[in-house]
Structure 1
Amino acid sequence: MIMPVLNEERHLRTSVQHILEQEYAGEMEVVIALGPSADRTDEIAAELVAENANRSWGRVQTVPNPTGRTPAGLNAAIKASRHPVVVRVDGHGMLSPNYIATAVRLLEETGAANVGGTMHAEGENAWEHAVAAAMTSKIGVGNAAFHTGGEAGEAETVYLGVFRREVLEQQGGYNEEFIRAQDWELNFRIREAGGLIWFSPELRVSYRPRPSVRELAKQYRNYGRWRHVVARYHAGSINLRYLAPPVAVCAIAAGVVVGVAVTPWALVVPGGYLAAIVAGSLPAGKGLGLSARAQIPVALATMHMSWGWGFLTSPKKLARKVIASRRAPVLTTRSSG
């Protein structure tokens, strides 16, 4: 188990507990890569190491990640780990009880290089419930299987991932220039080298959403910013789902400007968008309390507009830097299950 963490005091202990309570008969270890946190993350990690020091199964250790970058932390944790299967977990992700056992079985059955499942967003208050509903709805994230679910099958990328160590070593791990979208880039190299990426709804990780509008906006702005880097890095990888948010940002901005300066008829565009997210929030909020349902349109708008703005403002120099660090896929063959 490899886990890069930064400012994860809210969920780190619970996340590790979900790992240690896995229904898995094989050997296991937890390697936490510690970024420069400003909260109690390091203290909690030290407690977890001490509490599990005498375990013969599921020991916890830490490694430093001074840059705080996720791919650097992942590479440091991979280097410190020792088992043939590498399971990626985040400090705010909660594994389902049979996650590891199911993933190991799927690796053998499919011959895949990497398997992954659904990112099941779950909140702890009204705002987080609203974000979770938005993140698991098609109006919020399109048809991404690892958000909304789907049938098992070959995929471009998966959430987190359970890898064969030999594949990670062949590809040289994660590209550390990809501060975001490092999973997509690594899975791209694996696929180019002949490896299989496999999605299965049997695998589920509960995910805790960002706790405020500001944090959600920052998260999705970075998603959009780095997805544009990916598009420049790998021509042809863009589709309509990725273009929808930046198109929406441009259309709404133009509608507001023209509506104020020229004709109020142009306000139909932002008004239509508002009506669409309000209507889309109704089925997404089924079963939630009134406060959570009322905040779903805010979560949807924050996700769409921040992602679109990040995509539109992503600097070319960032893409040039990433492209300069391009790693050629190391050819391999698929394992047989």
Structure 2
Amino acid sequence: MSLAEREEISRGLCAGWSLRRIARGLGRAASTVSREVARHGGPVAYRAVVADSAARVRARRPKPVKLAVDARLRAWVQTRLEKRWSPGQIAAARKLAFADQPERWVSHETIYQAIYVQSRGALRRELAACLRTGRALRRPRGQARRHLPPRLPSPIPISARPAEAADRAVPGHWEGDLILGAGNSSAIGTLVERSTRFVLLLHLPHGHTAEHVRDAMIATITTLPAQLRRSLTWDRGNEMARHAEITLATDMAIYFCDPHSPWQRGTNENTNGLLRQYFPKGTDLTRHTADDLAAVAAELNERPRHTLGWLTPAQSLNRVLSGQSPVATTA
């Protein structure tokens, strides 16, 4: 926060404005302004110059890097990074493992800093390849490219999908898509269950035409129990031109997103991003065998997920099959 912003906060407090009004004027979150004021004496004692000076002193203060000075913690984090756990998953698992020892916790940002800011030491730069993005440097996300929607025979729009699918109240509603290889000449099909985040991968070694996708989908979906075959939501790709035949063979309704609306199957979009750690863009995906895909799906299904209360998708699916909630709850 700049000195000018702190001066605006000070003026607002003197005028009797609420913290929310001050935050709106600054274009900041109300929580940010609230912490700033509380940290520097509260609404009555807050002074912009004093607050700015104190902030600068805190920023200059040497702070030991936890992962640089604690070899056991560093090894604990590194082992899980090598298993492709995200920093968020590692931080949550550490907190659960040492619930009554906060001094042994580590934040996800500390892990990112240890990887990307080499001057802070701690972790090898090579471990960045284990992260979801695989980037050597942090950078903002670019905007996704948009494509014209292909034509599909009689697609059922997502607006017709039952409400139970939208609110994830009932298991058995899936989202799907293809991840494409070099030159869009190879592909792997991805399916993810909305309530448990359980992943299935479709092996497409001979192509990803509508016929190839139909056959792979039918072979995979028919292995699921009936209670897990309620619906599937897909993007408007030509590979689903045989969707009516899939529905007939599997008794699973298929719904299609609106054009240019990948966010309507956001769980699958997120999963495809995770899968790019294993299947990078620009590579030939036909070199991966069915056993390779099964191993990747198994590894992904064994990662703890924040949205599941830090259960794994496999644990969450087992809870569903035994009649429990897919999400862990605390007493």
What TM-score range do you get, normalising by the shorter chain?
Answer: under 0.3
TM-score by length of 1: 0.25
Which is strand-richer, 1 or 2?
1
TM-score by length of 2: 0.25
Higher relative CO (CA 8 A, sep ≥ 6), structure 1 or 2? 1
Which entry has the higher C-alpha Rg, 1 or 2? Answer: 2
